[in-house]
């Protein structure tokens, strides 16, 4: 935690979306997609659907930067987006690398991040693995 966090324990989902998105419609969509998708994609996340949202807040990624991370860095793929946030939680990727990826397109090798995440967290579902099979790494190499 860096002291800049906006989310408070008493916040409703609407409060959280408003605080993080700052009214940016793209960011709102991504946040709601995270809440809806994360339990199936990352079933071991201790905080459930709030895990990625709290990560955004802890990282200080708000408004258009949420949309930029989703669209430009993660190629509009919610699984990759959730993967980058989970990879940050696990120390696979640094805050600096994430922020650099917002400035320099292609500076973060998403496939490499996802392979390492899948290696460290086998229950994270990506690619063909959304149906429970284990073909994810094969699809990336």
Please check the confidence at residue 75 and state whether its pLDDT lies above 90: yes
Task: Tell me, yes or no, whether 45 lies in a domain.
Answer: yes
Cα–Cα distance for residue pair 93/112, rounded to 1 Å: 10
Q: What pTM was computed for the model?
A: 0.87
Domain residue limits at 62: 13-140
3-state SS, residue 45: coil
CB 63 within 8 A of CB 87: no
Helical pair 25-41 and 78-89, crossing angle rounded to 10 deg: 70
Q: What is the pLDDT of residues 77-115, one digit of tens each?
A: 999 999 999 999 999 999 999 999 999 989 999 999 999
Count the domains in the chain. 1
What is the Cβ-side half-sphere exposure of residue 91, based on CA atoms within 13 angstroms?
1
Instruction: Spell out the residues 6+ positions from residue 88 whose beta carbon is closer than 8 angstroms to its own.
Output: 55, 59, 94, 95, 98
């Amino acid at each position: 935690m860096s002291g800049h966090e906006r989310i408070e324990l008493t916040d409703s989902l609407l409060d959280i979306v408003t605080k993080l998105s700052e009214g940016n419609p793209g960011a709102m969509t991504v946040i709601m997609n995270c809440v809806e998708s994360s339990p199936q994609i990352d079933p071991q996340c201790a905080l459930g659907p709030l895990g990625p949202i709290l990560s955004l807040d802890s990282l200080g990624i708000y408004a258009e930067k949420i949309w930029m991370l989703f669209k430009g860095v993660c190629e509009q793929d919610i699984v990759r987006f959730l993967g980058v946030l989970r990879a940050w939680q696990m120390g696979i990727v640094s805050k600096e690398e994430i922020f650099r990826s917002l400035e320099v397109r292609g500076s973060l090798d998403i496939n490499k991040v996802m392979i390492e995440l899948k290696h460290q967290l086998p229950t994270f579902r990506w690619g063909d693995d959304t149906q429970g099979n284990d073909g994810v790494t094969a699809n990336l190499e």
